[in-house]
Amino acid sequence: MKKHISTKNSLIIISILIILLTSSCASVHPGYDVLPTKEIALKNISISSEFPHSLRSENYLYATFTFENMGNDWTQVKDVKIDLGDEKLNRETQILLGAPLNAWANGINLKSAVDDYNRQLLYTMIYLGGMGVAIAGGMKGNSGTAMTGLATSTAALGLSVADSIRGKLLDIENTSSSSSNNYLINSSFLIPPKMFIRKWIVLYNPHNEFPDNFKMNIRASDDKVMEYLVIRRMPPQKQEYNAI
- State the Cα–Cα distance between residues 55 and 122, nearest whole angstrom: 19
In a domain, 115, yes or no: yes
User: In terms of domains, do 23 and 139 share one?
Assistant: yes
In a domain, 140, yes or no: yes
Q: What is the mean pLDDT of the chain?
A: 74
In a domain, 176, yes or no: no
User: In terms of domains, do 38 and 22 share one?
Assistant: no
Domain CATH number, residue 82: 2.60.40.10
User: In terms of domains, do 115 and 24 share one?
Assistant: yes
Please check the confidence at residue 166 and state whether its pLDDT lies above 80: no
**Tens digits of per-residue pLDDT, 119-163?**
555 546 554 555 544 455 555 555 554 455 444 445 444 444 444
Nearest to 75 by CA among 173, 217, 194: 194
- Domain count across the chain: 2
Which residue intervals of the chain are DSSP H helices?
7-24, 87-92, 98-139, 143-177
Q: Which helix (H) or strand (E) holds 48?
A: strand 45-50
Identity of the residue numbered 98 = G
User: In terms of domains, do 152 and 200 share one?
Assistant: no
**pLDDT: is 149 or 199 the higher one?**
199
User: In terms of domains, do 127 and 231 share one?
Assistant: no
Nearest to 155 by CA among 17, 14, 37: 17
Q: Is 230 exposed, middle or buried (0-12, 13-18, 19+ CB in 10 A)?
A: buried
C-beta of residue 46 within 8 angstroms of C-beta of residue 29: yes
User: In terms of domains, do 221 and 242 share one?
Assistant: yes
Residue-level pLDDT at 107: 81
Q: Is 63 exposed, middle or buried (0-12, 13-18, 19+ CB in 10 A)?
A: buried
User: In terms of domains, do 144 and 191 share one?
Assistant: no
User: In terms of domains, do 19 and 35 share one?
Assistant: no
In a domain, 16, yes or no: yes
Identity of the residue numbered 158 = G
In a domain, 145, yes or no: yes
User: In terms of domains, do 243 and 122 share one?
Assistant: no
**pLDDT: is 217 or 178 the higher one?**
217
Per the structure, the complete domain to which residue 139 belongs is given by 1-28+110-168
User: In terms of domains, do 24 and 53 share one?
Assistant: no
User: In terms of domains, do 91 and 51 share one?
Assistant: yes
Please check the confidence at residue 90 and state whether its pLDDT lies above 90: yes
**Tens digits of per-residue pLDDT, 29-73?**
888 999 999 989 999 999 999 998 777 788 999 999 999 999 999
In a domain, 75, yes or no: yes
- State the Cα–Cα distance between residues 163 and 155, nearest whole angstrom: 12
User: In terms of domains, do 133 and 242 share one?
Assistant: no
